[in-house]
Amino acid sequence: MKQLFNIFKSALSLPLFCIIIFSMQGHIAFAGTDYRWLDGSAGESLAKRIELPEGFQRIPVSDKSFAAWLRGLPVQPGRPHVYLYNGSKKTNQLAHHCVLKVDVGKRDLQQCADAVIRLRAEYLYAAGCEDAIAFKFTSGDIAPWNEWSNGIRPRVRGNKVSWHKVKAPDESYKNFRRYLDTVFTYAGSASLSKELEKVPDPSKVEVGDVFIQGGFPGHAVLVVDVAINNCQERYFLLAQSYMPAQEIHVLRNLKIWRNPWYKAKSEGILLTPEWKFRYEDLRRFPRNPLCPNK
């Protein structure tokens, strides 16, 4: 009781427009086994690695949500180089704050929007929401994982896609990764941008949102964490892959050197190390009844 009184007493010194929030930080309810691509221990998580801005706390998220899963993403030790799919170092080594422990594959496929698709699909797979895994090709055709796992494969001829039963059913993780490679081949920022919902007020950014400009080329970055203070101001972290396909990394904020946090705003320019977005480019995955935890 005394502790609550002290908190209330401190709140009286804040400006009237500040709203005191009483909430526990959402804790991570995912284990290393929920990151199926790992070839060893998960190690340090994103949430443990990156310190909060002074006076901020992480916004509460529900257990088993996409937000909780993103916060639990494993991070490589230190600040290593970012590597391309072919083992070469990325030319720009100044853009990243840290590198996620997520494989990039051996082909030039997992680029910007593909990295967003990869993380979203991996979450749904880990959360037992496999029936919700479906992404559109650039042609507009939907590619559901449940059909792929039943042996149905796409036949792409120009802009026309047809599906045919050609394989035996296979629900293995290895086959899931083959499915994702196919999605990466025929989807991109243009198709993903059409699947996402516009966020009315970007200053209310949430973990799992996407800044995206669909095009040829376009770009997409994923919001992997959000922090809030007593005045309801929000800061967020961004992760990206890029061209050529490369390891997914958390971006630096070039305005504050070595700081990865970006301030949420309702409008204006969001300048990242390798792309210029508008805050109005913020989008969100629609709620899916097949995955109630989002």
pLDDT in tens, 267-280: 999 999 999 999 99
pLDDT in tens, 221-233: 999 999 999 999 9
Residue 23, phi then psi, degrees to nearest 5:
-155, 150
Q: What percent of the chain has pLDDT over 90?
A: 81
pLDDT for 82 equals 98
User: Would residue 136 count as lying in a domain?
Assistant: yes
User: Would residue 7 count as lying in a domain?
Assistant: no
Which structural domain range is residue 79 located in? Answer: 26-284
Cβ atoms of 96 and 249 within 8 Å: the answer is yes
pLDDT in tens, 55-102: 999 999 999 999 999 999 999 999 999 999 999 999 999 999 999 999
How deeply is 146 buried, as exposed, middle or buried, from its count of CB atoms within 10 A (0-12, 13-18, 19+)? middle
Count how many domains the chain has. Answer: 1
User: Would residue 4 count as lying in a domain?
Assistant: no
pLDDT for 48 equals 96
Query: Global pTM?
Result: 0.90
Question: How many residues would you count in the chain?
Answer: 294
b/e burial code for range 2-16 (CB count within 10 A of at least 16 → b): eeeeeeeeeeeeeee
Q: Which residue has the higher pLDDT, 243 or 7?
A: 243
pLDDT in tens, 139-167: 999 999 999 999 999 999 888 899 999 99
**Res 213 pLDDT > 90:** yes
